[in-house]
Amino acid sequence: MELQELRSFIRGLPKAELHLHIEGTLEADMIFALAERNKVRLPYADIESLKRAYQFTNLQSFLDLYYAGAAVLQTEQDFHDMTWAYLQRAAADGVVHTEIMFDPQTHTSRGVVIETVFAGLASALRQGQQELGISSSLIFSFLRHLSEAEAFATLEQALPLREQYADLWLSVGLDSSEKGNPPEKFQKVFARCKELGFRRVAHAGEEGPASYVRDALDLLQAERIDHGVRSEEDPALMQHLRQEQVPLTVCPLSNLKLCVVTDLKQHNLKRMLEQGLCVTVNSDDPAYFGGYILDNYMAVAQALDLSREQLVQLAQNSMNARF
Ligand SMILES: [Zn+2]
């Protein structure tokens, strides 16, 4: 009963989800359904054997599977269906606003044209606004394991679509393998995006050091940091994050599943919240990490014994951190 109460309390808080990779919402059954629809051969016999592969040891072990799963996305309808399924789940969790990341390069490198990707995502997001009352925008994310020249090429490909999707495409981001791919690698393309008027976010301080968080702020002019949990290693950085109220989009179940923490009881989310940082809770790649946003709130509420005030604060932070 008490858990049920907690769940409905959190569900009732108006929340924004700000760190969500739409390709990471592909549930195993949808991967199989789309594979069948598109005649894509999967290296897994059935849903169960795919799910058994969800035992990750670090970020890279997850990314390998994630890119394999995304290969079933071929048509505008596929991108629409994936996004629509996410929006329905988000609405059920009490999400009123979402800023979703997508990886154009994951699709263009397979021969899916950028127009198809935008069209499918946008039609679902516009339907979500009308039918579910969820407002949304898109974060066009560069894959950091690829080169900056490739990021520039992808941006150039997409820019002609900007006007058509001006209501949705507000920002750019940086994701994929963090270690060995520091923010400085993408300094020029982020400067260009700033010039073009895009808002900017970047993954930093998940597996990479606190200096990557600082560099994302200084060199990429990032306005939000995705993850950022390792910021704690640098007290001066922590002070800066607090003073400037730089939002951190923390993803507790992701951190657990990818072994950033070994136990949620050791997660620093509560400490950072108590220090006055603008911490938010998000689901990252929910189909792979065992839970959507409400599950993430529930997990930290229980593991860290968060008060109702703290839960309200987390939801409030997410609304304040919207673009
Ligand atoms: Zn992420």
Residue-wise pLDDT tens for the chain (323 aa)? 589 999 999 999 999 999 999 999 999 999 999 999 999 999 899 999 999 888 888 888 888 888 888 999 999 999 999 999 999 999 999 999 999 999 999 999 999 999 999 999 999 999 999 999 999 999 999 999 999 999 999 999 999 999 999 999 999 999 999 999 999 999 999 999 999 999 999 999 999 999 999 999 999 999 999 999 999 999 999 999 999 999 999 999 999 999 999 999 999 999 999 999 999 999 999 999 999 999 999 999 999 999 999 999 999 999 999 99
Which one-letter amino acid corresponds to residue 10? I
- Ligand 1: distance of its center to the CA of 206 in Å? 9
Instruction: Round to whole Å and give the CA distance between 278 and 262.
Output: 24
- Count of Cβ atoms closer than 10 Å to residue 176 Cβ: 21
- Ligand 1: distance of its center to the CA of 37 in Å? 28
- Ligand 1: distance of its center to the CA of 43 in Å? 25
Instruction: Single out the residue of 316, 228, 235, 319 nearest to residue 268, CA to CA.
Output: 228
The pLDDT score that the predictor gives to residue 64 is 84
Instruction: Round to whole Å and give the CA distance between 217 and 224.
Output: 8
Q: Is 227 helix (H, G, I), strand (E, B) or coil?
A: strand
- Ligand 1: distance of its center to the CA of 176 in Å? 8
- Ligand 1: distance of its center to the CA of 67 in Å? 14
Strand partners, 248: 225, 279
What is the helix (H) or strand (E) element at residue 170, kind and residue range? strand 169-175
- Ligand 1: distance of its center to the CA of 63 in Å? 10
Domain 19-176: CATH superfamily, name plus number? Metal-dependent hydrolases (3.20.20.140)
DSSP letter at 189? H
- Ligand 1: distance of its center to the CA of 174 in Å? 9
Q: Which two tokens stand for residue 177?
A: 């393998």
By DSSP bridging, strand 135-143 and strand 279-281 are unpaired
The pLDDT score that the predictor gives to residue 1 is 58
Q: What is the pTM of this model?
A: 0.97
* Residue-wise burial string across 112-136, b where 16 or more C-beta atoms lie within 10 A, e elsewhere: bebebbbbbbbbbbeebeeebebeb
The pLDDT score that the predictor gives to residue 67 is 84
DSSP letter at 186? G
The pLDDT score that the predictor gives to residue 201 is 98
Instruction: Round to whole Å and give the CA distance between 223 and 186.
Output: 15
Residue 115 catalytic? no
The pLDDT score that the predictor gives to residue 96 is 98
Residue of 17, 27, 99, 206 marked catalytic: 206
Domain ranges of the chain: 19-176
